[in-house]
Amino acid sequence: MAGSGGCRRGREQLELERLGEAARAGSCPPSPPLSACSRQAWSRDNPGFEPEEEGAAAAAAGPVLEMDVEWGSPAAGASSPLGSGAAGPGGGGRRQRRVPAGRGGTEVPGRHQVPPDGAAPHRAAWAKRLARRLRGLWGTRLMEESNTSRERYLKSVLRELVTYMVFLVVLCVLTYGTVSSSMYYYTRVLSQLFLETPVSKMEKTDFKTLSTMDDFWKFTEGPLLDGLYWEMWYNNKTMAENKSFIYYENLLLGVPRIRQLKVRNGSCSIPEDLKDEIKDCYDVYSVADEDTAPFGLRNGTAWTYTNEKDLNGSSHWGLIATYSGAGYYQDLSRNREMTAVQIASLKKNLWLDRGTRAAFIDFSIYNANINLFCIVRLLVEFPATGGLVTSWQFQPVRLIHYISTFDFFLAACEMAFCLFVLYYMVEEILEIRIHRLHYFRSLWNCLDILIIVLSVAAIGISIYRTSTVDTLLKKLLEDQNSFPNFEPLAYWQMQFNNIAAVTVFFVWIKLFKFVNFNRTMSQLSTTMSRCVKDVVGFAIMFFIIFLAYAQLAYLVFGTQIDDFSTFQDCIFTQFRIILGDFNFTEVEEANRILGPIYFTTFVFFMFFILLNMFLAIINDTYSEVKSDMAQQKAEMELSDLIRKGYNKAMIKLKLKKTAVDDISESLRQGGGKLNFDELRQDLKGKGHTDAEIEAIFTKYDQDGDQELTEHEHQQMRDDLEKERDLDLDRSSLPRPLSSRSFPRSLDDSEEDEDEDSGHSSRRRGSSSSGVSYEEFQVLMRRVDRMEHSIGSIVSKIDAVIVKLEAMERAKIKRRDVLGRLLDGVTEDERLGRDNEIHREQMERLVREELERWESDDTASQMSHRLGTPLGLNGQPRSRNSRPSSSQSDGIDGGGGGGGNNIHV
């Protein structure tokens, strides 16, 4: 009341000030007053003015202008000691307010001019809304504010998970769509043809078991020529001229090439004592010791050196060394006879000699049935120790794309993959912009960056591969007698396969980032994070002992056992021993004393002690994590959010009904009024008990007439709608327990790392006693409903107390009436008055009083039967409030007292 009176007085004063200012200033527009109520009234009379309550609202309206507005008397404003920050006693002062650009108003000299129309603010507001919507596409949990509710946070996580699952599906379709079982069978039949075919019918030596240069020439003159040139059918009919179809299905592209690398004589030092006996010395292969001088016939590419750039070659990693792409090469022919002559000439003129360190045989084939190229490289290495070592590489490649319908589907997936990569690049840029260097403190964020980098690299390699193959095929078609150098493509294809495999691996690993929101699934990551310090300490101790044994094995058995021939092989062999894969006989034969000692002590320390210590660390930490999670509070999880959405959808689709829905349906069928018997019959048919039906009906039947009026009906509907929302919120509350109430910030990982792993779990379990935002909201609603119910009960108790007080006053009044009657009788007897007249008056008064008491008793008995006790004035009370004992006692007592007085 005081506030409204103040507003009215402020409004009257405002009108007087406005009239005075209009008289003084003529056409000057009115200015806003200082008080809040006056400003509200002024804004109602001046729609163009909007009070500045929220800076965000003013900013959303468009550009603003800072204006200095004066009101009150000029003298008072000029003489105000408060300056521009506050108004003086006279009401004068200066106030700086924000006026949205584009509104009508007086232009202030010396300020920015307000645009005459509102086009610019509208455009700016539209652009801001568009920017917010576009940014909403990249809304992730890292972009949410720290005070965001748990449900909103999980919605962001769920949206991010769905987007990521689509990205994962697209990536898997791309990677698995380019690989098929045909590739395996393709390489297997070719390897059987060139690697497992004996060099002659009388010998069992094949390419894998070559041991001398003579075996190499036997292979080139036998299995190599037979495998490359299929010119006759099995019935001795010739095939197409100048074309070779290996296995009658695979076209030999161009001509094969044979290339060698040599080291020069004198590349190593000979001891002085042996110089008379040894004249030549050829060191192991290295690029610095590579021989580049012509030799042999000294004509043609087979006898003169060609550098790597002219050959368009690349280095190759062999079993013994890494070889360059240069050397001496000979391109073979398209038919068998000419190729045989060329090989015979090379053999005759000693093309391979003591300086030879590697010989390469390269060729490419194409199978149109499965649209696959196969780039083959057979490598023979000649170590400085003598003999030779063979290795091979069969690389199937799909270089021609977009032929079949499935290829065009893969093209669409490639476009989608590129869009996803662009999408995630923008997302990571936005997150880095928000969190700065804190962004890189999370392992998952670093994994996101790594996936994007690998994806971009795979896209670049794919583009390069597609553009290069067209050029190579064009050159091959122009000159079919040349060597098609697909070796760079094979190299990049191998890199592409490796990158794709690693990318798919990391993309699948990233799923743990989303699975961790489930309590059961998060136990693994929580266990690993808590035991990381213990595991690091154990790993240091483990590898000290492990590497000590590896060096011992390398020095003792390295010269005699293949599995210990290199230090790397020793490490892998010891891991195999831990897993139970070992050959004790070889170790014992290599050294009868140190062999058994090495094996026994290694198995004892590594398997029985260190390995069990590692398992104990994991087991102990897992037990701590499980016990801590059992003690922590419940919070909403992704499964609860999905279940909540599912329940809402089922209810909206009328596929699922709750108790609230049953009651609401009964109310709709009942129309304006609803009888208790009708409601009871309807709800009992739907499986509800009598206690539930009577409780809900009694709550809203205020007048006790066994019917719900229109007002009671509407109140019941409103409460049922609130109850439905509360049920949905209650159903969304999680049953399992998780580790935190709100999303982990980027600094949580640092706090976890600073804690000791042995006791950190107990501290975390005791510290996480907060309440989630959703629980708090649901509890607040319950408290509000409880307060509402308690308020209703208190009001009813107050009404009962008031009625009891009225009844007490009535008892006192009746007692006074009876007392006056008795006093009158006594006075008449003392004065000797006419008793008959006085007796008639007394009987009339007593009869009236008895009739009043009998009417009250009858009304009380009726109210008891209906369950709604009446008050003094016959007003029915609620069924919820029981009649007080004092009321019935007062009535009985009053009746008894009256009877005794009448008798007297």
Least confident of 140-144, 361-365, 786-790: 140-144
pLDDT band, residue 458 (cuts 50/70/90): very high
Could you tell me which residues are beta bridge partners of residue 246? 250
**Confidence tier at 118 by pLDDT (50, 70, 90):** low
Going by pLDDT thresholds of 50, 70 and 90, the confidence category of residue 657 is: low
Structure confidence at residue 515 as a pLDDT band (50, 70, 90): confident
| Contact residues for 827 (Cβ-Cβ < 8 A; gap 6+) | 833
**pLDDT at residue 319 in the model:** 92
Instruction: Identify the residue with better confidence: 718 or 612.
Output: 612
The residue that leads in pLDDT, 697 or 576, is 576
Distance CA 820, CA 841 (A): 12
> Parallel, antiparallel, or unpaired for β 64-71 and 250-262?
unpaired
**What confidence score (pLDDT) does residue 76 get?**
38
The alpha carbon dihedral of 550, 553, 557, 559 has a sign of positive
State residue 258's pLDDT score. Answer: 96
The confidence score (pLDDT) of residue 49 equals 41
pLDDT score at 487: 84
Q: CA distances (Å), 400 to each of 35, 175, 373, 462, 493, in order?
A: 80, 16, 9, 12, 13
Q: Which of 626, 717, 718, 705 is nearest to 863 (CA)?
A: 705
The confidence score (pLDDT) of residue 729 equals: 52
Query: Is the model's pLDDT at 317 over the cut of 70?
Result: yes
Higher pLDDT among residues 147 and 281, named by residue? 281
Q: What is the mean pLDDT of residues 814-832?
A: 74
More confident position, 265 or 139: 265
* 675: Cα within 13 Å, side-chain hemisphere: 3
- Distance of alpha carbon 51 from alpha carbon 32, whole angstroms: 9
* Residue 554: how many other CB atoms lie within 10 Å: 19
Instruction: Pick the more confident residue, 446 or 870.
Output: 446
* Pairwise CA distance, residues 761 & 756, whole Å: 9
pLDDT higher at 667 or 822 = 822
Band (pLDDT 50/70/90 cuts) for residue 326 is very high
Residue 638 has pLDDT above 90, yes or no: no
- pLDDT tens profile 668-707: 665 555 666 766 776 666 566 666 667 666 666 666 666 7
- For residue 329, report the phi and psi dihedrals to the nearest 5 degrees: -130, 155
Task: Judge whether residue 232 has pLDDT over 60.
Answer: yes
> Three-state SS for 832?
coil
Mean pLDDT of 855-861: 61
| Statement: residue 886 has pLDDT above 60 | no
Using 50, 70 and 90 to split pLDDT, how confident is the model at 358? Answer: very high
Is the pLDDT higher at 441 or at 93?
441
- What does the mean pLDDT of the chain come to? 74
Res 108: pLDDT: 41
Residue 499 has pLDDT above 80, yes or no: yes
Q: Is the pLDDT of residue 887 over 90?
A: no
| 250 phi, psi to nearest 5 deg | -110, 115
CA distances from 16 to 24, 492, 772 (A): 12, 88, 55
DSSP 603: I
What confidence tier does 468 reach under pLDDT thresholds 50, 70, 90? confident
pLDDT tens-digit map of 743-778:
344 344 444 444 443 434 333 333 334 566 667 777
Contact 259, 328 (CB under 8 A): yes
Tokens of 194: 């060139």
Q: What is the pLDDT of residue 633?
A: 65
* Residue 901 pLDDT grade (very low, low, confident, very high; cuts 50, 70, 90): very low
* Band of pLDDT at residue 390, cut at 50, 70 and 90: very high
Calculate mean pLDDT across residues 541-559. Answer: 94
User: What is the reported pLDDT for 666?
Assistant: 62
Residue 866 has pLDDT above 70, yes or no: no
Percent of the chain residues topping a pLDDT of 90? 32
The pLDDT of residue 218 is: 93
Name which of 323, 304, 379, 386 is nearest 353 in CA terms: 386
Rounded CA separation 773/751 (Å): 23
Q: Which carries the bigger pLDDT value, residue 680 or residue 437?
A: 437
As a residue count, the chain comes to 904
Q: Is the C-alpha dihedral spanning 108, 109, 113, 116 positive or negative?
A: positive
Would you state the structure tokens that stand for residue 431, as one six-digit string?
């997150």
pLDDT tens-digit series, residues 792-804: 788 888 888 988 9
List pLDDT tens digits, range 12-42.
Answer: 455 545 545 444 444 444 444 444 444 444 4
User: Among 108-117, 488-497, 500-509, 877-886, which stretch is predicted with the lowest mean pLDDT?
Assistant: 877-886
Instruction: Band the pLDDT of 384: cuts 50, 70, 90.
Output: very high
What's the rounded Cα separation, in Å, for the pair 602 and 595?
Answer: 11
Rounded distance between C-alpha atoms, residue 548 and residue 543, angstroms: 8
At 306, the pLDDT band (50, 70, 90 cuts) reads very high
Q: What is the pLDDT of residue 457?
A: 94
Q: What is the DSSP string of 843-883?
A: HHHHHHHHHHHHHHHHHHHHHHHHT--B-TTSPBPPTTSPP
What pLDDT is stored for residue 834 in this prediction?
61
Residue 546 reports pLDDT greater than 70: yes
Residue 189, pLDDT above cutoff 90: yes
The pLDDT assigned to 507 comes to: 93
Q: Please tell me the predicted confidence (pLDDT) of residue 860.
A: 57
- pLDDT(845) > 70: yes
Asked whether residue 104 carries a pLDDT value surpassing 60, the answer given is no
When mean pLDDT is compared over 200-204, 668-672, 832-836, the highest value belongs to 200-204
- Is the sign of the CA dihedral 132, 136, 140, 145 positive or negative? positive
Beta-carbon contacts of 732 under 8 Å, excluding residues fewer than 6 positions away, are 151, 636, 640, 641, 643, 644, 774
What pTM was computed for the model?
A: 0.59
- Orientation of helix 638-652 relative to helix 150-177, angle to 10°: 100
Greater confidence (616 vs 161) lies with: 616
